[in-house]
Amino acid sequence: MDKLMRELRSNLLSNQDISIIKNELWQLPIRSYNVSFSRVKRFKMDILMKMLLLAFQETDIRRAATLADMLLVEELFIHDLIGKMERTGLVRLEKQGYKLTAKGHDYLGKGIFEEDMEEDQAPIFYSHVHGEYRLASDQTNPEAEKILPTYRYAIDGTVDWDEIYELLSKEESGSAEENFQVIVTDVIGCEELGTESIPCIEFQLYDQKQDIFYARVWNGMIGGWDETLAKQIEEQEVVKWREAMDKQKELQN
């Protein structure tokens, strides 16, 4: 940690206009959860095509316009798609309207049924300051060597299942075998594991040339400069830092 801090310091100070007015170490509390969720395997099939097949199965339709009115979809699209289905032999035009061929029935069947998969679990971190859920990485977070003070603007909150679902849909869905996709269908459970402490290094900086105060926060979890934290600190404190400096100058004079 000290080594990292030295490195960062020297990097920052390589610009001669910049001076570090304060340098602090603290920890950012982060909630850790174990989330379990359900998944299904589904045949890859375009929904409009599925809808058309369903509609042809259910009623007699001769004109694309009729469907366009029912589904509120551009007639052009339906026209195109019917053409494509006719060419591939899924439907054909009969007296009463379009009818599914045997191939069409088969195809629709595949599209409708989905196969349940085993439940799965994923560890998730949540930082309320960032308002952000993320999958916990495999690597262990650098543990603070000593007990660090907590981030001064840390806040606490409750779990938002929808956001977790959104994260999982994005991260855990994907293709399975050919023509099939895996979809997260629901979040089943969410077990809070506890609070992790992420060590962070804060620099309060002054650029003499530009007469600017600003903050830099190294986030130990992401291993980079954290914009959200730096902005939050600047928002709250920059004016105070300036006042303090002005006062100090006055004292010196």
- Binding residues vs another protein (CB under 8 A): 11-12, 14-15, 44-51, 54-55, 58-59, 70-74, 76-77, 80-81, 169, 173, 181, 183, 205, 207, 210-214, 222, 224-225, 227, 234, 238-239, 242
Minimal distance in Å, beta carbon 192 to another protein?
28
Count of CB atoms situated within 10 Å of the CB of 243: 10
Q: Whose Cβ is closer to another protein: residue 192's or residue 243's? A: 243
Q: Tell me the two tokens of residue 54.
A: 């369903």
Asked if 39 and 74 touch (Cβ cutoff 8 Å), the reply is no
Alpha helices (runs of H) in the chain, residue ranges in sequence order? 2-13, 47-58, 64-71, 75-87, 102-112, 161-172, 227-252
| CA gap 72, 67 in Å, rounded | 8
Q: Whose Cβ is closer to another protein: residue 192's or residue 227's? A: 227
Q: Whose Cβ is closer to another protein: residue 112's or residue 193's? A: 112
Minimal distance in Å, beta carbon 26 to another protein?
21
Minimal distance in Å, beta carbon 67 to another protein?
9
Q: Whose Cβ is closer to another protein: residue 33's or residue 53's? A: 53
Minimal distance in Å, beta carbon 165 to another protein?
13
Asked if 183 and 44 touch (Cβ cutoff 8 Å), the reply is no
Asked if 190 and 57 touch (Cβ cutoff 8 Å), the reply is no
